[in-house]
Amino acid sequence: METEIISIGTELLLGDVIDTNAAYIARKLSFLGIDLFRKTVVGDNKERVSRILRGALDRVDLVITTGGLGPTEDDLTKEAISEVMEEELIVDEEVVKNIQRRFSSKNLPEKAIIKQALIPSSAKIIINEAGSAPGIILEKKGKIIISLPGVPREMEKMMEKVISYLSVKKIGKECIQSRILKIWGMGESQVEEKIADILKKQSNPTIAPLVGKGEVHLRITAKFENKKVREKKIKELEDKIREQLGDYIYGVDEETLESLVASSLKKRGLKLGVAESCTGGLFSHRLTNISGSSNYYNCGIVSYSNQAKSELLNVPPSLIQEKGAVSPEVAEKMAEGAKKAAKADIGVGITGIAGPTGATPEKPVGLVYIAISAQDKKICRKFIFSGNRENVKWKASQAALYLLNKSI
């Protein structure tokens, strides 16, 4: 079955609010194997909503709307549906009672309650457990319209019921399965070149390259009725891709570089000390986003000044003088100093030029040295990252996480 999503709300057109609902629904649909063909955003204008609804129903069988179900004058979704589907709107007494019971303390005006309790005569109601406006499912003339509120936590709660409904109706293909391979250290076009032969031959499973933040993802999607066949086909393709990309693939699906580092450190009982300069705290921030990070993250030093590098990390001032603060020698000393200061097993040192200022003819913006000092091995690598200040910070933190993950 083919689907479209319509997000309704003038605030979405003004850009004040980012439409996260559509992506949420899209993700749920893709797991059900329902193909989404289009998402549209429109303001609170009945005529325009009706027009888009008509267009969507011409093209597809299932339309999901969010927004415009509330109590105010500019909430017009049900009115548009009623017009397009030729359905009378009738006050549902159950809904009225429900809202009165839930909002008894809030003194909601009668008019606002009635407005939200207006339901197209043949529609099913989806109870809203997190708010007042109910959702609706309307099946008519071989088409299905599902309307959900725009408030994300209300919509998300109600999507569970929608998923059950769609599953029972067996609308999805129920034969789709995906696996995401996460790649660090290669750009999108390099990845595509490396696996060009595999990409050329793809049909089922398909491969979709996606550009993530400082990394590339390959999404393998298989469509087969039989679960075992799906898994086997995905596995075969994954193996072929791994042959080409090897270590560049750092993880799969929900794994992130920080989650992998975290679980490796935890498993081995190792403690970490960090010295970061150009990343300015971002590397530590990412590692400490993981719950339980105090088990392996001892301490980090954001050593912006040379004085901090010398006094807190024991980098000899003469070395900084001679080689420069952005040099492999200083990165190595920072890693060792961090390990020692944090009384840790592994030290990480990051120094570079995040830009836009600070470059010299020999040392461009984006130049970053990353050193790891572990018990039995020491590494130091040089990078030149492109992009603005925030990009360079992010990419340097990615690279440091990747190297750290390899070193544990």
Window 24 to 63, contacts with a copy of itself (CB under 8 A): 24-30, 36-43, 48, 52, 55
CA distance 117 to 106: 17
| Geometric angle at alpha carbon 168, from 167 and 170, rounded to 5° | 65
Does 66 sit near a copy of itself (CB under 8 A)? no
Sign of the alpha-carbon dihedral angle for 132, 133, 138, 143 = negative
Does 77 sit near a copy of itself (CB under 8 A)? no
Span between the terminal Cα atoms of the chain, in Å: 47
Three-class SS of residue 198?
Answer: helix
Q: How far is the CB of 52 from a copy of itself (least distance, A)?
A: 7
CA distance 38 to 43: 17
Q: How far is the CB of 99 from a copy of itself (least distance, A)?
A: 11
Among residues 219, 223, 266, 378, which is the contact residue for a copy of itself, using CB under 8 A?
Answer: 219
How many residues lie near a copy of itself (CB under 8 A)? 100
List the x/- string, 329-358, binding to a copy of itself by CB under 8 A.
------------xxx----------xxxxx
Nearer to a copy of itself, 88 or 193 (CB): 193
Among residues 140, 198, 209, 251, which is the contact residue for a copy of itself, using CB under 8 A?
Answer: 209
Does 289 sit near a copy of itself (CB under 8 A)? yes
CA distance 92 to 267: 57
Among residues 2, 47, 72, 121, which is the contact residue for a copy of itself, using CB under 8 A?
Answer: 72
Q: Are 382 and 367 in contact (CB under 8 A)?
A: yes
Q: Are 69 and 35 in contact (CB under 8 A)?
A: no
- Options 104-112, 166-174, 251-259, 260-268: segment touching a copy of itself (CB under 8 A): 104-112
Alpha helices in 314-358 (DSSP H): 317-323, 328-341
Nearer to a copy of itself, 123 or 366 (CB): 366
Does 181 sit near a copy of itself (CB under 8 A)? no
Does 71 sit near a copy of itself (CB under 8 A)? yes
User: Rule CB under 8 A: which of 240-279 touch a copy of itself?
Assistant: 274, 279
Q: What is the DSSP string of 122-146?
A: TPEEE--SSSSPPEEEEEETTEEEE
Longest CA–CA separation in the chain, Å:
83
Q: How far is the CB of 20 from a copy of itself (least distance, A)?
A: 6
